[in-house]
Amino acid sequence: MRQRVLLFRKNLNNFDTLFIYRGMKYDIVAPGVKYIGVDDLDIDLFEGQYDVPEGISYNSYLIEDEKIAIMDTVDVRKKDEWEKVLEKALNGKAPDYLVVQHFEPDHSGSVKFIMEKYPNVIAVCSPKAKPMFERFFDVDYGARIQVVKEGETLSLGEHTLQFVMAPMVHWPEVMVSYEHKTKILFAADGFGKFGALCKEEENEEGWACEARRYYFNIVGKYGAMVQQLLKKAATLDIQTICPLHGPILTENLGYYIGLYDTWSKYEPEEEGIFVAYCSFYGNTAKAALALADIIREKSDVKVSTSDIAREDLHEAVEDAFRYDRLVLCAPSYDGGVMPVMDDYINHLRMKTYQNRKVAFVENGTWAPSAGKKMREAMEAMKNITIVEPIVTVESAVKDKTIEDLKVLADALIG
């Protein structure tokens, strides 16, 4: 289902043609609030680890009133581009405030530039963000840093920002900001997604696909903190969500908030079976794909598969959380399991994978060990139900293997 509400022009970083809202040229988010972010299509890996084939946006906003506030900066990689967008938006004026909601360098990378270029600007941040200025920039800004606490407000004139602490969503210093006049929630990393805004027009997968991969890999460990933030947000009359990555959300907000609620409770988003496999010579892969086919033949249960050595491991993390059942298929290796499966399970552990049914298919030619290793690792996670039997492929898939896979398929279908 296509849920995106804002369609963006390809030349987003040209401030004259910002984005289209329901077919109308639109260069403001709301009265007095401008989008001044930039796309990054040159980046190879976001955070040095995540594939972003459609790039990513570093969103930044400008609130113009009696006082002018910049809401977050951008990665230093795109500082020069952002400077042009900012200067055009400011139109010769100087900002009074720089609100730093999150200090991760994809947003704070141009903070030093702003502090130097505008010597009167006051940086507004949470108590935990304050020491990060000196840690990152080796500069003591002294009284130019204004610390705000939970619920405190900053009046810009008609616009008033109210600060809501959001620790660990996704760093400890994170806060989000609610603007009372426009009812905008500036949500920091919350409700962000991979993908440059200029690519949104071609995006047929909808918001959830890349938002889910972003959420589980980046914020996933901190579900309890996301729940706390959602409870605070429920007390606010939010009409627009302005995240630091991805499109601005203005309609059907219940859909996005509902997904965040499901994800942060570690509940499955939908019924289905995700088969994650790796294989040295194709025999384990053959068993994994045979299992998927058997399930499809026997039922209407949705089945998805991934070769975790060749396909995006982080997408496989996302899919493990998406569905209610997971099957891990791997060969034995050095008394344990093929390393890429070890790595995958470790990713799941770090993101506090829980509340799912899990089954195993192992392969072994002389001393199968993968099933035991995978089971021990998964049983150590919270509320994991093991689906029996563990199927052992003895070197290659044979008639006996298919019969065993049919038994496992029946157990998974339930």
Which of 64, 189, 210, 315 touches ligand FEO (CB under 6 A)? 189
Cis upstream peptide for 389 (omega within 30°)? yes
Buried b (16+ CB within 10 A) or exposed e, 66-79: eebbbbbbbbbbbb
The CB-nearest residue to ligand FEO is: 104
Exactly one of 34, 112, 245, 322 binds ligand FEO (CB under 6 A); that residue is 245
Shortest Å distance, C-beta 212 to ligand FEO:
16
Instruction: Compute the least distance from the CB of residue 189 to ligand FEO, in Å.
Output: 4
At its nearest, how many Å lie between ligand FEO and the CB of residue 73?
Answer: 12
* Of 167 and 368, CB closest to ligand FEO: 167
Calpha distance 25→194 (Å, rounded):
24
CB of 171 or CB of 360, closer to ligand FEO = 171
The site string for ligand FEO over 132-171 (x = CB under 6 A, - otherwise) reads: --------------------------------------xx
| Binding-site size, ligand FEO (CB under 6 A) | 9
- Of the pair 46, 360, the CB lying nearest ligand FEO is at 46
Of 54, 72, 106, 173, the one binding ligand FEO by CB under 6 A:
106
Residue 193 sits in the site that holds ligand FEO (CB under 6 A): no
Least spacing, CB of residue 167 vs ligand FEO, in Å: 12
Out of 79, 107, 199, 356, name the contact with ligand FEO by CB under 6 A. 107
The correct pick among 34, 102, 325, 373 for binding ligand FEO (CB under 6 A) is 102
- Smallest distance from ligand FEO to CB 300, Å: 38
Nearer to ligand FEO, 351 or 373 (CB): 351
Of residues 106 and 404, the one with the C-beta less far from ligand FEO:
106
Task: Please list every residue from 323 through 382 that binds ligand FEO, using CB under 6 A.
Answer: none
Q: Is residue 212 near ligand FEO by the rule CB under 6 A?
A: no
If one asks whether residue 244 binds ligand FEO (CB under 6 A), the answer comes out as yes
The residue ranges that bind ligand FEO (CB under 6 A) are 102, 104, 106-107, 170-171, 189, 244-245
